[in-house]
A and B are shown apart, each in its own frame.
Chain A
Amino acid sequence: MTETPLIGGATLAPVDARLAGARIGVVTFPGTLDDRDAIRAVRVSGATAVELWHADSGLGGVDAVIIPGGFSYGDYLRAGAISRFAPLMSTIIKAATGAASSNPLPVLGICNGFQILTEAHLLPGSMIKNDHLKFLCRDQVLRVENNTTAWTNAYSAGQDITVPLKNQDGQYIADEKTLDALEAEGRVAFRYVGGNPNGSRRDIAGISNAAGNVVGLMPHPEHAVEAGYGPGHTGTDGLGFFTSVLNTLLGGN
Protein backbone atom coordinates (compact mmCIF):
# COMPACT_ATOMS: atom_id res chain seq x y z
CA MET A 1 0.00 0.00 0.00
CA THR A 2 1.33 3.45 -0.82
CA GLU A 3 0.80 6.43 1.39
CA THR A 4 0.14 9.90 0.04
CA PRO A 5 1.83 12.56 2.15
CA LEU A 6 -0.68 14.84 3.86
CA ILE A 7 1.25 17.84 2.56
CA GLY A 8 3.61 17.81 -0.40
CA GLY A 9 7.22 17.46 0.58
CA ALA A 10 6.65 15.35 3.68
CA THR A 11 9.00 12.45 3.28
CA LEU A 12 9.67 9.36 5.28
CA ALA A 13 13.12 8.22 6.36
CA PRO A 14 15.00 5.88 4.02
CA VAL A 15 14.06 2.26 4.55
CA ASP A 16 16.20 0.36 7.05
CA ALA A 17 15.64 -3.33 6.37
CA ARG A 18 16.04 -4.33 10.02
CA LEU A 19 13.43 -1.85 11.21
CA ALA A 20 11.12 -2.55 8.27
CA GLY A 21 11.14 -6.19 9.25
CA ALA A 22 9.09 -5.29 12.34
CA ARG A 23 5.40 -5.47 11.44
CA ILE A 24 3.08 -3.35 13.58
CA GLY A 25 -0.66 -3.90 13.20
CA VAL A 26 -3.11 -1.00 13.46
CA VAL A 27 -6.72 -1.98 14.16
CA THR A 28 -9.67 -0.27 12.49
CA PHE A 29 -13.17 -0.49 14.00
CA PRO A 30 -16.28 1.19 12.59
CA GLY A 31 -15.84 4.77 13.80
CA THR A 32 -12.07 4.62 14.33
CA LEU A 33 -10.58 8.02 13.58
CA ASP A 34 -6.83 7.95 14.06
CA ASP A 35 -5.83 4.73 12.32
CA ARG A 36 -4.28 6.63 9.40
CA ASP A 37 -2.13 8.73 11.72
CA ALA A 38 -1.10 5.67 13.70
CA ILE A 39 -0.12 3.88 10.48
CA ARG A 40 1.91 6.90 9.44
CA ALA A 41 3.60 7.08 12.85
CA VAL A 42 4.63 3.43 12.49
CA ARG A 43 6.13 4.20 9.07
CA VAL A 44 7.92 7.30 10.35
CA SER A 45 9.57 5.08 12.97
CA GLY A 46 10.83 2.86 10.15
CA ALA A 47 8.63 -0.17 10.84
CA THR A 48 6.11 -1.75 8.49
CA ALA A 49 2.46 -0.92 9.25
CA VAL A 50 -0.16 -3.61 8.75
CA GLU A 51 -3.84 -2.70 8.56
CA LEU A 52 -6.05 -4.94 10.70
CA TRP A 53 -9.86 -5.11 10.52
CA HIS A 54 -11.90 -5.63 13.68
CA ALA A 55 -14.12 -8.33 12.19
CA ASP A 56 -11.19 -10.59 11.24
CA SER A 57 -9.88 -13.02 13.79
CA GLY A 58 -6.29 -13.39 12.58
CA LEU A 59 -3.46 -11.01 13.42
CA GLY A 60 -1.63 -11.64 10.15
CA GLY A 61 1.59 -12.44 11.95
CA VAL A 62 2.16 -8.92 13.28
CA ASP A 63 4.76 -8.36 16.01
CA ALA A 64 2.77 -5.71 17.91
CA VAL A 65 -0.64 -4.06 17.77
CA ILE A 66 -1.86 -0.48 18.10
CA ILE A 67 -5.52 0.19 18.90
CA PRO A 68 -5.97 3.79 17.76
CA GLY A 69 -8.28 6.57 18.82
CA GLY A 70 -11.65 7.60 17.53
CA PHE A 71 -15.27 6.89 18.34
CA SER A 72 -15.69 3.19 17.64
CA TYR A 73 -19.39 2.34 17.44
CA GLY A 74 -20.09 6.02 18.12
CA ASP A 75 -19.15 5.53 21.80
CA TYR A 76 -22.57 3.86 22.11
CA LEU A 77 -23.26 2.05 25.38
CA ARG A 78 -19.87 3.12 26.84
CA ALA A 79 -16.72 4.18 25.01
CA GLY A 80 -15.08 0.99 23.76
CA ALA A 81 -17.76 -1.30 25.18
CA ILE A 82 -18.96 -2.78 21.90
CA SER A 83 -15.56 -2.87 20.18
CA ARG A 84 -14.23 -4.91 23.06
CA PHE A 85 -16.26 -7.88 21.79
CA ALA A 86 -14.97 -7.74 18.19
CA PRO A 87 -13.53 -11.04 16.92
CA LEU A 88 -10.06 -9.51 16.55
CA MET A 89 -10.13 -8.37 20.19
CA SER A 90 -10.45 -11.97 21.40
CA THR A 91 -7.29 -12.81 19.46
CA ILE A 92 -5.49 -9.73 20.79
CA ILE A 93 -6.49 -10.46 24.40
CA LYS A 94 -5.19 -14.01 24.09
CA ALA A 95 -1.90 -12.90 22.49
CA ALA A 96 -1.36 -10.02 24.92
CA THR A 97 -1.90 -12.06 28.04
CA GLY A 98 0.63 -14.49 26.65
CA ALA A 99 -0.81 -17.66 28.11
CA ALA A 100 0.84 -19.64 25.34
CA SER A 101 4.02 -17.62 25.01
CA SER A 102 6.85 -16.13 26.99
CA ASN A 103 6.76 -13.13 24.65
CA PRO A 104 3.30 -11.62 25.03
CA LEU A 105 2.18 -9.37 22.19
CA PRO A 106 2.96 -5.67 22.74
CA VAL A 107 -0.33 -3.72 22.58
CA LEU A 108 -0.73 0.06 22.69
CA GLY A 109 -4.17 1.62 23.18
CA ILE A 110 -4.50 5.32 22.44
CA CYS A 111 -7.56 7.29 23.62
CA ASN A 112 -10.52 5.16 22.44
CA GLY A 113 -7.99 2.33 22.19
CA PHE A 114 -7.21 2.80 25.90
CA GLN A 115 -10.95 2.73 26.64
CA ILE A 116 -11.25 -0.52 24.66
CA LEU A 117 -8.35 -2.06 26.64
CA THR A 118 -10.03 -1.21 29.96
CA GLU A 119 -13.35 -2.59 28.75
CA ALA A 120 -11.46 -5.74 27.71
CA HIS A 121 -9.93 -5.88 31.22
CA LEU A 122 -6.42 -5.93 29.77
CA LEU A 123 -5.88 -2.78 31.84
CA PRO A 124 -7.62 -1.93 35.14
CA GLY A 125 -9.96 0.97 35.81
CA SER A 126 -12.18 2.84 33.42
CA MET A 127 -12.80 6.21 31.80
CA ILE A 128 -15.80 8.40 32.53
CA LYS A 129 -16.76 11.87 31.29
CA ASN A 130 -14.30 14.69 31.94
CA ASP A 131 -15.13 16.33 35.26
CA HIS A 132 -15.88 19.62 33.43
CA LEU A 133 -18.07 17.76 30.88
CA LYS A 134 -16.45 19.46 27.89
CA PHE A 135 -14.58 18.04 24.94
CA LEU A 136 -11.02 19.21 25.48
CA CYS A 137 -8.39 19.56 22.75
CA ARG A 138 -4.96 20.92 23.62
CA ASP A 139 -1.26 20.19 23.71
CA GLN A 140 -0.58 18.35 26.95
CA VAL A 141 2.61 17.84 28.92
CA LEU A 142 3.05 14.31 30.31
CA ARG A 143 5.67 12.93 32.64
CA VAL A 144 7.09 9.54 31.75
CA GLU A 145 6.76 7.69 35.06
CA ASN A 146 7.80 4.26 33.81
CA ASN A 147 10.29 3.95 30.99
CA THR A 148 10.63 0.18 31.16
CA THR A 149 7.50 -0.84 29.26
CA ALA A 150 7.42 -2.10 25.67
CA TRP A 151 6.11 1.30 24.54
CA THR A 152 8.10 3.74 26.74
CA ASN A 153 11.68 2.46 26.86
CA ALA A 154 12.96 5.11 24.41
CA TYR A 155 12.21 7.83 26.98
CA SER A 156 14.12 8.73 30.14
CA ALA A 157 12.44 8.18 33.48
CA GLY A 158 10.87 11.46 34.57
CA GLN A 159 11.11 12.98 31.09
CA ASP A 160 8.42 15.51 30.17
CA ILE A 161 6.89 15.11 26.72
CA THR A 162 4.23 17.16 24.94
CA VAL A 163 1.58 15.48 22.78
CA PRO A 164 -2.00 16.40 21.81
CA LEU A 165 -4.92 15.49 24.08
CA LYS A 166 -8.48 15.42 22.67
CA ASN A 167 -11.42 13.70 24.30
CA GLN A 168 -14.62 14.00 26.30
CA ASP A 169 -14.48 10.72 28.22
CA GLY A 170 -10.95 11.08 29.52
CA GLN A 171 -11.33 10.94 33.29
CA TYR A 172 -9.42 7.88 34.48
CA ILE A 173 -10.95 6.24 37.52
CA ALA A 174 -10.31 3.13 39.56
CA ASP A 175 -10.91 2.21 43.18
CA GLU A 176 -8.29 3.26 45.74
CA LYS A 177 -6.97 -0.27 46.13
CA THR A 178 -6.35 -0.56 42.39
CA LEU A 179 -4.73 2.89 42.29
CA ASP A 180 -2.44 1.99 45.20
CA ALA A 181 -1.46 -1.24 43.45
CA LEU A 182 -0.73 0.59 40.18
CA GLU A 183 1.52 3.04 42.04
CA ALA A 184 3.27 0.34 44.07
CA GLU A 185 3.96 -1.80 41.02
CA GLY A 186 5.19 1.15 38.91
CA ARG A 187 2.37 0.70 36.47
CA VAL A 188 1.51 4.39 36.18
CA ALA A 189 3.24 5.00 32.85
CA PHE A 190 2.31 8.68 32.37
CA ARG A 191 1.01 11.48 34.54
CA TYR A 192 -0.45 14.83 33.50
CA VAL A 193 1.84 17.78 34.22
CA GLY A 194 0.79 21.43 34.49
CA GLY A 195 -2.77 20.83 35.63
CA ASN A 196 -5.10 17.86 35.52
CA PRO A 197 -7.17 18.25 32.33
CA ASN A 198 -10.11 16.00 33.20
CA GLY A 199 -10.21 14.96 36.85
CA SER A 200 -8.30 11.71 36.32
CA ARG A 201 -7.40 10.04 39.62
CA ARG A 202 -3.86 10.85 40.75
CA ASP A 203 -3.23 12.75 37.47
CA ILE A 204 -2.94 9.43 35.64
CA ALA A 205 -2.70 9.78 31.86
CA GLY A 206 -1.59 6.25 31.02
CA ILE A 207 -0.93 2.88 32.63
CA SER A 208 0.56 -0.50 31.78
CA ASN A 209 -0.20 -4.09 32.66
CA ALA A 210 2.08 -5.97 35.06
CA ALA A 211 4.21 -7.43 32.26
CA GLY A 212 4.65 -4.02 30.61
CA ASN A 213 3.63 -5.22 27.15
CA VAL A 214 0.20 -3.56 27.27
CA VAL A 215 0.09 0.23 27.61
CA GLY A 216 -2.89 2.56 27.34
CA LEU A 217 -3.11 6.34 27.49
CA MET A 218 -5.62 9.04 26.64
CA PRO A 219 -3.29 11.57 24.90
CA HIS A 220 -2.17 11.03 21.30
CA PRO A 221 1.52 10.33 20.61
CA GLU A 222 0.74 9.45 16.98
CA HIS A 223 -0.13 13.12 16.33
CA ALA A 224 3.34 14.23 17.39
CA VAL A 225 5.80 12.32 15.24
CA GLU A 226 6.67 14.70 12.39
CA ALA A 227 7.98 18.25 12.48
CA GLY A 228 5.38 20.53 10.94
CA TYR A 229 2.36 18.73 12.36
CA GLY A 230 2.86 18.18 16.09
CA PRO A 231 2.59 20.50 19.10
CA GLY A 232 4.09 23.92 18.39
CA HIS A 233 4.48 22.78 14.79
CA THR A 234 7.80 21.20 15.66
CA GLY A 235 6.99 18.71 18.42
CA THR A 236 7.85 15.10 17.76
CA ASP A 237 7.78 13.85 21.35
CA GLY A 238 5.32 11.08 20.46
CA LEU A 239 7.76 9.24 18.23
CA GLY A 240 9.34 7.55 21.25
CA PHE A 241 6.35 5.22 21.61
CA PHE A 242 6.95 3.81 18.16
CA THR A 243 10.72 3.56 18.50
CA SER A 244 10.28 1.98 21.95
CA VAL A 245 8.38 -0.98 20.56
CA LEU A 246 11.08 -1.41 17.91
CA ASN A 247 13.67 -1.55 20.71
CA THR A 248 11.53 -4.21 22.34
CA LEU A 249 11.03 -6.25 19.19
CA LEU A 250 14.57 -5.99 17.88
CA GLY A 251 16.15 -6.63 21.26
CA GLY A 252 17.79 -3.23 21.52
CA ASN A 253 16.38 -2.76 24.98
Chain B
Amino acid sequence: MPRIVVDVMLKPEILDPQGKAIVGALPRLGFTAFSAVRQGKRFELTVDGEVTDEILAQAREAAETMLSNPVIEDVVNVEVVADQP
Protein backbone atom coordinates (compact mmCIF):
# COMPACT_ATOMS: atom_id res chain seq x y z
CA MET B 1 0.00 0.00 0.00
CA PRO B 2 1.29 3.50 -0.75
CA ARG B 3 2.57 5.64 2.06
CA ILE B 4 2.92 9.36 2.48
CA VAL B 5 6.16 10.25 4.22
CA VAL B 6 6.25 13.41 6.32
CA ASP B 7 9.57 14.71 7.65
CA VAL B 8 9.61 17.22 10.50
CA MET B 9 12.68 19.06 11.81
CA LEU B 10 13.19 21.52 14.63
CA LYS B 11 13.47 25.02 13.22
CA PRO B 12 17.09 25.95 12.47
CA GLU B 13 17.14 28.61 15.20
CA ILE B 14 15.95 26.17 17.90
CA LEU B 15 18.75 24.48 19.82
CA ASP B 16 18.44 20.67 19.60
CA PRO B 17 19.70 19.20 22.90
CA GLN B 18 19.34 15.62 21.61
CA GLY B 19 21.34 16.33 18.48
CA LYS B 20 23.97 18.01 20.60
CA ALA B 21 24.30 14.91 22.80
CA ILE B 22 24.58 12.71 19.70
CA VAL B 23 27.31 14.81 18.08
CA GLY B 24 29.20 14.67 21.35
CA ALA B 25 29.04 10.87 21.40
CA LEU B 26 29.98 10.17 17.77
CA PRO B 27 33.75 10.82 18.16
CA ARG B 28 33.86 8.19 20.92
CA LEU B 29 33.14 5.62 18.20
CA GLY B 30 35.70 7.12 15.85
CA PHE B 31 33.20 9.10 13.77
CA THR B 32 35.07 12.37 13.74
CA ALA B 33 33.88 13.89 10.46
CA PHE B 34 30.60 15.35 11.78
CA SER B 35 30.51 18.79 13.33
CA ALA B 36 26.78 18.93 14.09
CA VAL B 37 23.75 16.65 14.36
CA ARG B 38 20.11 17.62 14.30
CA GLN B 39 17.47 15.04 15.05
CA GLY B 40 14.09 15.07 13.31
CA LYS B 41 10.98 12.95 12.97
CA ARG B 42 9.74 10.85 10.08
CA PHE B 43 6.06 9.87 9.85
CA GLU B 44 4.72 7.26 7.43
CA LEU B 45 1.01 7.56 6.69
CA THR B 46 -0.35 4.45 4.99
CA VAL B 47 -3.15 4.93 2.49
CA ASP B 48 -5.61 2.21 1.54
CA GLY B 49 -5.76 2.65 -2.21
CA GLU B 50 -4.63 5.45 -4.46
CA VAL B 51 -3.09 8.67 -3.12
CA THR B 52 -5.32 11.34 -4.62
CA ASP B 53 -4.60 15.06 -4.55
CA GLU B 54 -7.22 15.39 -1.84
CA ILE B 55 -5.56 12.76 0.34
CA LEU B 56 -2.17 14.40 -0.16
CA ALA B 57 -3.70 17.75 0.83
CA GLN B 58 -5.08 16.08 3.97
CA ALA B 59 -1.60 14.78 4.78
CA ARG B 60 -0.13 18.26 4.35
CA GLU B 61 -2.78 19.73 6.63
CA ALA B 62 -2.23 17.01 9.25
CA ALA B 63 1.51 17.69 9.03
CA GLU B 64 1.01 21.40 9.70
CA THR B 65 -1.64 21.10 12.41
CA MET B 66 -0.74 17.99 14.39
CA LEU B 67 2.43 16.22 13.27
CA SER B 68 4.45 19.41 13.73
CA ASN B 69 4.28 22.33 16.12
CA PRO B 70 4.81 25.44 13.98
CA VAL B 71 6.25 27.29 16.98
CA ILE B 72 9.33 25.06 17.08
CA GLU B 73 9.24 22.80 14.02
CA ASP B 74 9.12 22.91 10.21
CA VAL B 75 7.58 20.34 7.91
CA VAL B 76 10.54 19.86 5.55
CA ASN B 77 9.17 17.14 3.28
CA VAL B 78 5.87 15.53 2.28
CA GLU B 79 6.16 12.84 -0.40
CA VAL B 80 4.40 9.76 -1.66
CA VAL B 81 6.37 6.52 -1.49
CA ALA B 82 5.23 3.95 -4.01
CA ASP B 83 3.61 0.64 -3.23
CA GLN B 84 6.01 -1.96 -1.92
CA PRO B 85 5.98 -5.31 -3.77
Write the residues of chain A forming the contact surface with B, with a CB cutoff of 8 angstroms.
Answer: 77-78, 81, 85, 118-119, 124-126, 128-133, 171, 173-175, 199
Contact = CB atoms under 8 A, between A and B. Distances in A.
17 contacts: A78-B69, A81-B69, A85-B66, A124-B71, A125-B71, A126-B71, A128-B14, A129-B17, A130-B17, A131-B17, A132-B17, A133-B17, A133-B18, A171-B17, A173-B72, A174-B71, A199-B15
A71 to B, nearest CB: 17
Interface of B: 10, 13-15, 17-18, 21, 66-67, 69, 71-72
B18 A129 contact: yes
A187 B72 CA distance: 20
Contacts of A78: 69
Contacts of A124: 71
Given A81-B66, A85-B66, A133-B21, A118 B15 contact: no
A125 B71 CA distance: 6
A126 B19 CA distance: 18
A230 to B, nearest CB: 30
A188 B15 CA distance: 22
A137 B17 CA distance: 19
A128 B72 contact: yes
A174 B13 CA distance: 10
Given A119-B69, A128-B72, 4 more contacts: A130-B17, A132-B17, A173-B14, A173-B72
A209 to B, nearest CB: 15
Contact of A126 (B17, B18, B66, B72): B72
